[in-house]
């Protein structure tokens, strides 16, 4: 008898291929784990039991017929609820889209399905991906599996929590300013933001179109690499003009040595305001671990990184305002009843369909794009974006990757931070990566000496060096020994393969 918690994605797929257990048995074990655990984590918005069992049955039928199985055949996976999947709702955790049934399947989801995964459902998030806690979901907050009184991070908090609680093996999230890496750090899982354009965004509800990127989360770097193989299979997606051909084997060099390779550190970041002592100590531990693996630690500088928050909160709200204008209560989404005119219906539908943070960001975007303001702020933010990108290019001329925190703190209690501006600072170490379009990953390195909660170290790499980034992430994972951890309170509860 085994528990799904203990198995990697490769082990699940290999066990099914060998006949050690069936895909249906795996699907039922995952559904049992969700049933046993999600009452505490509240990671899911919708469990797609029928889709899961149907996909598992198809995998079992293919094996019985002697067909070669796909690389992730039978692996339990769930998707952030801004990704369309036929047979499920896509709500973006908003009342605005509460009844919306997916009309098609997003390319990133389809590629995971093509790789053989068993789709378990849709995961909670901050409304329209606006947030760092998952508390702004219109339906319910998600809890951190390491301490259910604390936030899981956001906006992909449901994805991180589902993986950390052992409810799924892999989850997909989206990252506009740190929304994969920050919750991965707070929940003690691996979370990767690929290079902008590496993964198709077709079928993913847009927040900031020049910043959004879909990426995988798992309990192991290897699981994330396997997911990257699936997400990039087939190369460029003709439905997403920004997507690139990044189809390659991300496992091929995963365990290569990093002997003599160069890792950049930014000493000033370790003195940043708000960085807690235990996170600072974890970064030193991560640097020591990479050095022990043979890497050369080099000091670098990103002089304009300090301006990334200011630039982001001009660029992102402007793009959000543009993207969310389509939700007007006419074509789809929440419709205010009893309105006398179309204008009244649109206005009240938006007023009552969106939550506070969604309205705040759209109003900010509308202001920043208004005449006379646009030139003063939006154009200036684009110039800062150019400077930040140039800083990274210079730094990556000296080093292969850059090491920095993923979050300045461990997970905090629900409601402990109520000031929106203070919450925005939760992404202070991740936003610059989205602005430049580079790749980044958070790897759990330790439990905080004071809190006992997980801390992730972030590695950032140049654009389209995603495979190289995973090599360094695997070396960091080996050196720090948190590979495959499920939050202790959830380990072994449900999910048994009989």
- Answer yes or no: are the C-beta atoms of 69 and 203 closer than 8 Å: no
What gap in Å lies between CA 156 and CA 46, rounded to an integer? 15
**Helix, strand, coil in percent for the chain, rounding step 5:** 40, 15, 45
Q: Where are the beta strands (DSSP E) in 2-67?
A: 2-3, 44-47
Closest by CA position to 473, among listed 195, 188, 182, 190: 190
Contact 201, 214 (CB under 8 A): yes
**Annotated active-site residue in 48, 137, 155, 485:** 155
Tell me which of 179, 200, 349, 451 is the catalytic residue.
Answer: 179
Omega cis (within 30) before 202? no
Q: What are phi and psi of 470, to 5 degrees?
A: -65, -35
Sequence-distant (6+) residues with CB within 8 A of 64 are none
Catalytic-role residue among 8, 22, 80, 407: 80
Q: Please name every residue paired with 175 in a beta bridge, in sequence order, or none if there are none.
A: 213
Closest CA to 302 of 231, 384, 379: 384
Return the structure tokens found at 273: 């305001």
| Residue 493 is a catalytic residue | no
Rounded alpha-carbon distances, angstroms, from residue 133 to 19, 100, 183, 184, 416? 41, 24, 8, 12, 11
CA distances from 350 to 19, 343, 356, 471 (A): 52, 11, 11, 45
CB 214 within 8 A of CB 77: no
Whether 347 is catalytic: no
Pairing assessment for the beta strands 190-193 and 213-218 based on DSSP bridges: antiparallel
> Could you identify the residue written with the tokens 């965004």?
201
Token digits for 436? 């430049």
Task: Look up tokens 């956001």; give the residue.
Answer: 154
The two three-digit tokens of residue 329, written as one number: 């209560």
Q: Classify 481 as helix, strand or coil.
A: coil
122 is catalytic: no
Q: Which residue has the tokens 């199985």?
A: 69
Cα–Cα–Cα angle for 358, 360, 366, nearest 5°? 100
CB atoms within 10 A of CB 23: 30
**Angstrom distance (rounded) from CA 490 to CA 403:** 30
Residue 89 pairs in a beta bridge with 101
Catalytic site positions: 80, 155, 179
């Amino acid at each position: 008898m085994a528990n799904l918690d203990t198995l990697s994605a490769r082990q699940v797929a290999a066990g099914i291929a060998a006949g050690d257990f069936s895909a249906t048995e795996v699907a039922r074990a995952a559904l049992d784990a969700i049933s046993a655990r999600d009452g505490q984590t509240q990671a899911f918005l919708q469990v797609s039991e029928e889709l899961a069992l149907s996909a598992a049955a198809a995998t079992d039928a293919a094996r019985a017929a002697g067909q070669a199985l796909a690389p992730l055949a039978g692996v339990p996976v769930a998707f952030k609820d801004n990704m369309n999947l036929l047979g499920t709702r896509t709500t973006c955790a908003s009342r605005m889209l509460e009844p919306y049934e997916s009309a098609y399947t997003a390319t990133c989801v389809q590629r995971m399905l093509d790789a053989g995964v068993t789709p378990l459902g849709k995961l909670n998030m901050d409304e329209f991906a606006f947030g760092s806690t998952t508390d702004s979901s219109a339906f319910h907050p998600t809890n951190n599996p390491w301490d259910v009184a604390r936030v899981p991070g956001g906006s992909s908090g449901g994805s991180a929590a589902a993986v950390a609680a052992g409810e799924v093996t892999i989850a997909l999230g989206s990252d506009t300013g740190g929304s994969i890496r920050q919750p991965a750090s707070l929940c003690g899982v691996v979370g990767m933001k690929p290079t902008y354009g590496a993964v198709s965004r077709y079928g993913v509800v847009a927040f900031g179109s020049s910043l959004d990127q879909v990426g995988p989360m798992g309990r192991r770097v290897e699981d994330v690499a396997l997911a990257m193989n699936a997400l990039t299979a087939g190369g460029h997606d003709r439905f997403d003009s920004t997507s690139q051909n990044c189809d390659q084997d991300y496992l091929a060099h995963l365990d290569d040595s990093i002997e003599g390779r160069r890792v950049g550190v930014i000493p000033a970041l370790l003195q940043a305001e708000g960085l807690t002592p235990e996170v600072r100590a974890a970064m030193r531990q991560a640097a020591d671990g990479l050095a022990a693996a043979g890497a050369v630690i080099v000091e670098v500088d990103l002089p304009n990184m300090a301006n990334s928050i200011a630039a982001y909160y001009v660029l992102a709200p402007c793009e959000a305002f543009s993207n969310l204008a389509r939700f007007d209560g006419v074509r789809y989404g929440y419709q205010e009843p009893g309105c006398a005119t179309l204008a009244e219906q649109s206005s009240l539908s938006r007023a009552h369909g969106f939550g506070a943070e969604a309205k705040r960001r759209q109003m900010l975007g509308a202001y920043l794009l208004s005449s006379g303001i646009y030139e003063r702020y939006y154009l200036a933010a684009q110039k800062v974006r150019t400077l930040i990108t140039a800083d990274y290019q210079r730094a990556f001329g000296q080093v292969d990757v850059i090491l920095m925190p993923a979050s300045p703190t461990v997970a905090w209690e629900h409601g402990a931070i109520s000031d929106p501006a203070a919450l925005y600072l939760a992404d202070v170490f991740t936003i610059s990566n989205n602005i430049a379009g580079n790749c980044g990953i958070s790897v759990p390195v330790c439990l905080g000496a004071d809190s006992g909660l997980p801390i992730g170290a972030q590695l950032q790499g140049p654009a389209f060096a995603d495979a190289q980034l995973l090599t360094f992430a695997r070396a960091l994972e080996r050196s720090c020994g948190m590979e495959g951890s499920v939050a202790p309170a959830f380990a072994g509860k449900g999910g048994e393969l009989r």
